[in-house]
Amino acid sequence: MVRSHARSPTKSATAGWIVENLSTAILLFDSKLRLQLVNSAGENLLSASVKKMTGQRVDQIFGNDALPKALQHALDTGQVVTEWDLEIVSASHLTQCVDCTLTPCGNGQGDANVLVEMSNSDGLRRILRDEAALGQQNVLRTLVKEMAHEIKNPLGGIRGAAQLLECELASPAHKEYTRLIVDEVDRLRKLMDRMLVPNAAPRMTGVNIHEVLEHVCSLLEAGTDPALTIIRDYDPSLPDLLADRDYLIQAFLNIAQNAAQAVSYQGTVSFRTRAQRQCTIGLKRYRLVIRIDIIDDGPGVPAEIAEDIFYPMISGRSNGTGLGLSIARSLIHGHGGQIIYSSKPGETVFSVWLPVENGT
């Protein structure tokens, strides 16, 4: 599969063996940006086989335009391009950060090829960035919780006083005002309750992730338009997790409700589960992790809030409170997991990783 210009067959075979066994992913694209060659490290990085990828265009292999753009730039300028911490999305929707070098080179027949060397930069840089963002979000969540607590305290008093006042009033027109106060206090109390959850310590038991997702699907389907299509793509071999079932239901419901809202309850929401081995979450390495993708075919996350949707009170919907994702994220983190998303018009994917056992 791997060709070299070495003189003897032995040297050629050795060169092929070396490329195959490199830990760096090697990909070779032709001038039409079609993949000609990929080594084993490339297959691993992109979670796709050489058979599937060979001959595909770069935009069929990658789910975002970061690498296609860099490739086109290298081809147009004929210059070596180096990118650090480039965020790529594989066709299986896995988002990763890579360092890569793109080297334009002739193919011996007057046409240009581009050689791409790529290695995962998942390490320290991304971990530090994620940890910093998480720290900020935690501070903000604590602030929001404390604020909600302070607002909630006097609400009981205001409600009681309005009810007493209502008893004293004779005119039905005046009673309207006190009822309005009570209704608004109730609305505010519900909002504060959402801001305060989760409060209790999680109760960890053996939980089947598909049972959790099925519960979420039934809640989503209840009372919604039958035009909403739900697709299940489950890996039935997944083991149970040690988790708080109710917290997981709440987290996945928040994500799934957003997906259903994004398609106005008339498009498609898919639930996909997969096992992932040797996965790093934060600073820990896990032997086995369950990945859950919730995918919708809506218009995508609005660009102006794309960076901030996990912060509390950030919403792109006129009637949204902006709490759903910040709650989901803190519940998933409480289970040692992580949540990220990628979004483009027609395909938004929220991916949750949950470790099956303790990491190292």
Ligand X SMILES: Nc1ncnc2c1ncn2[C@@H]1O[C@H](COP(=O)(O)OP(=O)(O)OP(=O)(O)O)[C@@H](O)[C@H]1O
Residues of this chain that bind ligand X (CB under 6 A): 254, 258-259, 262, 296, 298, 300-302, 309, 314-317, 320-326, 348
Report, in Å, the least distance between residue 298 CB and ligand X: 5
Report, in Å, the least distance between residue 259 CB and ligand X: 4
For residues 272 and 233, is the Cβ–Cβ distance under 8 A? Answer: yes
Residue nearer to ligand X on the CB measure, 329 or 335: 329
Among Mg ion, ligand X, none, what binds residue 321 when CB lies within 5 to 8 Å by partner kind?
Answer: ligand X
Residue nearer to ligand X on the CB measure, 159 or 291: 291
Residue nearer to ligand X on the CB measure, 114 or 269: 269
Report, in Å, the least distance between residue 323 CB and Mg ion: 7
Report, in Å, the least distance between residue 324 CB and ligand X: 3
Neighbours of 128 (CB within 10 A): 11
Residue nearer to ligand X on the CB measure, 36 or 315: 315
Please tell me whether residue 326 binds Mg ion under the rule CB under 5 A: no
Task: Give 136's contacts (C-beta < 8 A, 6+ positions apart).
Answer: 311
Bridge pairing between strands 112-120 and 347-355: unpaired
Residue 319 CB burial class (10 angstroms; 0-12, 13-18, ≥19): exposed
Stretch of residues binding Mg ion (CB under 5 A), selected from 53-61, 171-179, 213-221, 321-329? 321-329
Exposure class string for 272-285: b at 16+ Cβ within 10 A, else e: bbbeeeebbbeeee
Query: Smallest Cα–Cα separation from 335: which of 151, 207, 160, 218?
Result: 207
Please tell me whether residue 324 binds Mg ion under the rule CB under 5 A: yes
Residue nearer to Mg ion on the CB measure, 16 or 267: 267
Sheet holding 284-296, edge to edge: 229-233, 268-281, 284-296, 347-355, 338-344
Among ligand X, Mg ion, none, what binds residue 338 when CB lies within 5 to 8 Å by partner kind?
Answer: none
For residues 50 and 19, is the Cβ–Cβ distance under 8 A? Answer: no
Report, in Å, the least distance between residue 320 CB and Mg ion: 6
Report, in Å, the least distance between residue 241 CB and Mg ion: 23
Q: Which of residues 244-283 bind Mg ion (CB under 5 A)?
A: 258
Please tell me whether residue 312 binds Mg ion under the rule CB under 5 A: no
Report, in Å, the least distance between residue 188 CB and Mg ion: 19
What secondary structure letter does DSSP report for 55?
T
Among ligand X, Mg ion, none, what binds residue 129 when CB lies within 5 to 8 Å by partner kind?
Answer: none
Query: CA 359 from chain center: how many Å?
Result: 21
Residue nearer to ligand X on the CB measure, 16 or 316: 316
Residue nearer to Mg ion on the CB measure, 74 or 249: 249
CA distances from 245 to 238, 250, 332 (A): 16, 9, 12
Neighbours of 5 (CB within 10 A): 8
Residue nearer to ligand X on the CB measure, 171 or 319: 319
Report, in Å, the least distance between residue 317 CB and Mg ion: 7
Stretch of residues binding Mg ion (CB under 5 A), selected from 176-184, 190-198, 273-281, 324-332? 324-332
Exposure class string for 163-195: b at 16+ Cβ within 10 A, else e: eeebeeeeeeeeeeebeebeeebeebeeebeeb
For residues 279 and 286, is the Cβ–Cβ distance under 8 A? Answer: yes
Binding interface with Mg ion (CB under 5 A): 258, 324
